[in-house]
Structure 1
């Protein structure tokens, strides 16, 4: 008997769970906008040197010192490229003129992040991902101490406030600082929303609910394309994707704190109130009198005894099974994010309208995730996780052998690769929440997801390797996915297995121990 049995008694996946999961998932429509926003707010518009009175032909980063009228009159394509070196050039002393066909305004055109300053464009995304990484570390640990609901509410408020303020940034430095802080809040929203979903959902429906709720993120990619196309101004777009979080902040007070977490933090009275509330909403009022404080604590007696100690990140690697889980998940999270953002963060390279490309990249996720849902349900988490990563590697490697002039084929393979990495993300969020115990679940989620943020920060830098060899970035992305795909098969299977609440539970479930040893294990880890 455990908490899962109590959930079934108060209605299983009833009206409360449906409302709860829906409200937690709706912000996902704009979470994709946060991570992929740089494709539009930092889009690179066509540009050339501003030339007073247009006394020369246009160049992107330099201009001719003297007017070269004969180049305008002659057939420029017939002139050998080496001839251009005979003309004296200088830097763009009067700034740049930007093409406003695709973007009306971006941070690139706002602060002239072109030519020698072009690396600052990618730096802004790296800084944002650094904030996401920091948030995973900070908010992961804090939510295990102060609760999932409190940290989620704060994260909504921080994202709404600082994200909206970013639109009024007077300088590039201010913009980067605010994006860093926004990134921290994004981690807080994602990690705590996942745990609040998982910890209120019965065992049998976790797979379906986890996968379906991820479609909000997928659909959000297409929402981003629509909003960006409608506005085309980075400041307006920034407000449009951040201000709605004030609404999410207001209704988030309706959420119920995780009863599992409350019990394990010796707040059983509050947990009982939430269980009674769930029973009432689910149409099971008769259960309110039957489920008393004694019943609740008797169901979770072992977990309560084991949770009396203090847990730190060290506990994630202190025992054999926990160490194996953490090390494997670190590799899986890194490679999934590494490959995903390697494909998704430079849409302009495909030569297709960037707004259309964003929609295509979003649409391909639907069949990929539906396939993942079937695999998660019937084959399990381990096989699905490993297969998605290996298939993404196949698509990335296949693109190496496709000629550059076959752009449609290369785009198709890239979309398929992105679809498999997206399905891998869906699986790893669910898988991680099921592998780590309640007493340290958020710390674990924060710990391993930091590797995803490192992967997302490293992905743009790898593109520089194409100067050494054009195929090298794809080899690196694909190689990382292969390694992670193999490593995923070393993780324990969690299909239809109740959530573990203590470290002792984890050791018992996935090691061959005698009953007495299992009991002692749970007690020992709770008394550290």
Structure 2
């Protein structure tokens, strides 16, 4: 009899567990939208250079009205390769000769132009004001948007480290963790509360400290020597798991936040894209749950991560004019990225022994938050190629999928309680493998 039997007595999935899940969901609902606000507060509206002949109030008031705004725009702002007004350059002087040309002309690029030395004019049809319009974070200053998003994500990284430690003061601890850390009295109290909320009131009479000690004797013996933090990397098997899980979480969160923080780069209508991204998250997590239970942890993660990488790479090279296809692929990518994150978290928790799980999850979480913080910084690479950041977003989950093969399957397997359980698992696997080979070569 072990701790799993105690869980069956108090109720494996009842009112108590459901209440815990609801509380976690409420906190996530409150926190996560603050990250997505960057898609609106740092949105880049349409913009062009401020031009004296177009935007000076005095000139506009005294103008004859002979020339339209479109005509003045044509002689003031050069066209880009898509025959749209340039965002970051203007003509040094009005090019009146362009009025006599009906179509495109060969020598436009040779005409003298200059940067937007007098500022920009912004399209306010969708966003009346953002940090971009307030601080002119466009053209050569556009990389500062990535810096602002990085600072937000870096704040999450620092906050997770600090407040993750402080939260132990008021959050209820796991009964299993309390047993492992040699606090059986507190663990008994938690188990009795869980049984009471699950409607199993009679269990409180039979579940005593003596019963708890006898059923978890092995866990209590392991708790006598509380492992220090460096034990995460002292033994070979556990060190391998921590390093692989940290790499996986980094390369999973990199594209996840790359998609979620750059909605405007994927579709013109930020509001529609954001709604679609939010709607697809719920069914994707349900699909992740089904896959984890039927396909296993490893196959599920590899499937979702490969689909994520492929969807991003395809989206990267779809022309901007095909907006519907780009938004559909991006929405699919957000869905599988959410499923991949859920699968990764589940698998990781089942691979780490209980005695160091809290510390290990913190270390892996730091790697994940580093990936989230690096994601917006990669957009600075657009100065070299507009596709480069998205290629990195697409390749990283594929590398993560390959790393999953280095971890064992944990479906229907008991949770490891001690570091020795993890190391013995490797020895048991080797022993079973040797016995299998022996059986094959032994004559009968």
What's the TM-score bracket when you normalise by the shorter of the two chains? Answer: 0.7 to 0.9
Aligned length: 404
Match of 2:158 in 1: 134
Q: 1: distance between equivalents of 2:146 and 2:12?
A: 46
The question of whether the paired residues in 1 share the 8 Å contact of 2:350 and 2:415 is answered with: yes
Change in Cα spacing, 1:492 to 1:139, as seen in structure 2 (3 Å) is: farther
The question of whether the paired residues in 2 share the 8 Å contact of 1:129 and 1:453 is answered with: yes
1:437 to 353, 362, 366: 353
1:299 to 192, 210, 215: 215
Q: 1: distance between equivalents of 2:114 and 2:262?
A: 34
The offset of 1:97, in angstroms, is 4.4
1:334 to 240, 245, 250: 250
Q: 2: distance between equivalents of 1:13 and 1:444?
A: 25
Match of 2:144 in 1: 120
Change in Cα spacing, 1:273 to 1:76, as seen in structure 2 (3 Å) is: farther
The question of whether the paired residues in 2 share the 8 Å contact of 1:396 and 1:474 is answered with: yes
Aligned ranges 1:248-397 → 2 under 5 Å: 256-397=172-313
Q: 2: distance between equivalents of 1:81 and 1:503?
A: 72
Q: Secondary structure at the match of 1:362?
A: helix
Q: Secondary structure at the match of 2:428?
A: coil
The offset of 1:401, in angstroms, is 5.3
Gaps of 5+ in 1: 153-255, 516-528
The offset of 1:457, in angstroms, is 2.5
The offset of 1:70, in angstroms, is 4.4
2:326 to 410, 429, 436: 410
The question of whether the paired residues in 2 share the 8 Å contact of 1:364 and 1:419 is answered with: yes
Worse-matched range after superposition: 74-83 or 264-273: 74-83
Match of 1:491 in 2: 407
1:86 to 112, 116, 130: 112
Change in Cα spacing, 1:75 to 1:444, as seen in structure 2 (3 Å) is: farther
Aligned Cα root-mean-square deviation (Å)? 3.1
Structure whose CA Rg is larger:
2
The offset of 1:318, in angstroms, is 1.5
The question of whether the paired residues in 1 share the 8 Å contact of 2:89 and 2:115 is answered with: yes
Q: 1: distance between equivalents of 2:137 and 2:147?
A: 11
- Residue 46 (structure 1) aligned with residue 20 (structure 2): no
Q: 2: distance between equivalents of 1:514 and 1:88?
A: 70
Q: Secondary structure at the match of 1:479?
A: helix
Change in Cα spacing, 1:513 to 1:463, as seen in structure 2 (3 Å) is: closer
Q: 2: distance between equivalents of 1:99 and 1:76?
A: 27
Q: 2: distance between equivalents of 1:89 and 1:472?
A: 25
Q: 2: distance between equivalents of 1:71 and 1:303?
A: 87
Change in Cα spacing, 1:26 to 1:474, as seen in structure 2 (3 Å) is: same
Change in Cα spacing, 1:309 to 1:76, as seen in structure 2 (3 Å) is: farther
Match of 1:183 in 2: none
The offset of 1:13, in angstroms, is 1.2
TM-score w.r.t. structure 2 length?
0.80
The question of whether the paired residues in 2 share the 8 Å contact of 1:334 and 1:453 is answered with: yes
TM-score w.r.t. structure 1 length?
0.68
Q: Secondary structure at the match of 1:283?
A: coil
Match of 1:422 in 2: 338
The offset of 1:337, in angstroms, is 1.0
Match of 2:31 in 1: 31
Change in Cα spacing, 1:105 to 1:510, as seen in structure 2 (3 Å) is: farther
The question of whether the paired residues in 2 share the 8 Å contact of 1:139 and 1:446 is answered with: no
Q: 1: distance between equivalents of 2:269 and 2:312?
A: 22
Gaps of 5+ in 2: 60-71, 78-86, 432-444
Q: Secondary structure at the match of 1:318?
A: coil
The question of whether the paired residues in 1 share the 8 Å contact of 2:353 and 2:418 is answered with: yes
